[in-house]
Amino acid sequence: MQQATLAIIKPDAIKKNIIGQIVRRIEENDLAVVAMKMVHLSRKMAESFYYVHRERPFFASLTQFMSEAPVVLMVLRGENAISRWRDIMGATDPAKAKEGTIRKLFGESIERNAVHGSDGPESAGFEIGYFFSAVELVR
Ligand code: ADP
Ligand code: MG
């Protein structure tokens, strides 16, 4: 099934200057980048994006982290894009992520874990719509 998912290159990865290394892994795995932009999220934008986590103990720290430097926002399209992108990213905690995954390679901690990916069709719809309008998706 063709799907779209939201990917974010998080502030820790932007500071490491590894945008290209992450995009290369997306392309090598046959996912297409169909929208892309770089933004510096405000604290409020980060809080609204991660609203589902508002009750979690790490919410304040997470939203501070996500607004500390710019991020790259992308919409990825391909066969089973949602679960495939999550497989390429690896587990939330880099220490538990499989060898060769982006989080294993580049993540610093369970919070500063380099990338984001939507966790299902419903969140993908919300997350893509949160950052992109229809005219910004190229196909
Ligand atoms: P994922 O990004 O793998 O879908 P979650 O949706 O559970 O993970 O969490 C969202 C983000 O919150 C994670 O990517 C990570 O940056 C941060 N996070 C998750 N769990 C923790 C934690 N226990 N402590 C600090 N930050 C966390
Ligand atoms: Mg999640």
Assigned domain for 32 exists: yes
Give every strand in the sheet of 115-117, ordered side by side.
Answer: 32-39, 71-79, 2-9, 115-117
Query: Which residue range is the domain that position 85 belongs to?
Result: 2-133
User: Which residue minimizes the CA distance to atom 14 of ligand 1?
Assistant: 92
Assigned domain for 56 exists: yes
The domain tally of the chain equals 1
Assigned domain for 122 exists: yes
Best residue among 41, 58, 59 to mutate for probing ligand 1, ranked by most atoms within 8 Å of CB: 58
Tens of pLDDT, residue by residue, the chain (139 residues): 999 999 999 999 999 999 999 999 999 999 999 999 999 999 999 999 999 999 999 999 999 999 999 999 999 999 999 999 999 999 999 999 999 999 999 999 999 999 999 999 999 999 999 999 999 999 6
Catalytic residues: 116
User: What's the pLDDT score for residue 106?
Assistant: 98
Assigned domain for 87 exists: yes
Assigned domain for 50 exists: yes
Phi-psi region at 78: left, alpha or beta (left = phi > 0; alpha = psi -120 to 50) = left
N- to C-terminal Cα separation, the chain: 16
Assigned domain for 138 exists: no
Rounded to two decimals, the pTM is 0.98
Assigned domain for 114 exists: yes
Spacing, Cα 50 to ligand 1 middle (Å): 10
115, 7 contact by CB (below 8 A): yes
Assigned domain for 139 exists: no
Query: Which CATH number belongs to the domain containing residue 65 in this structure?
Result: 3.30.70.141
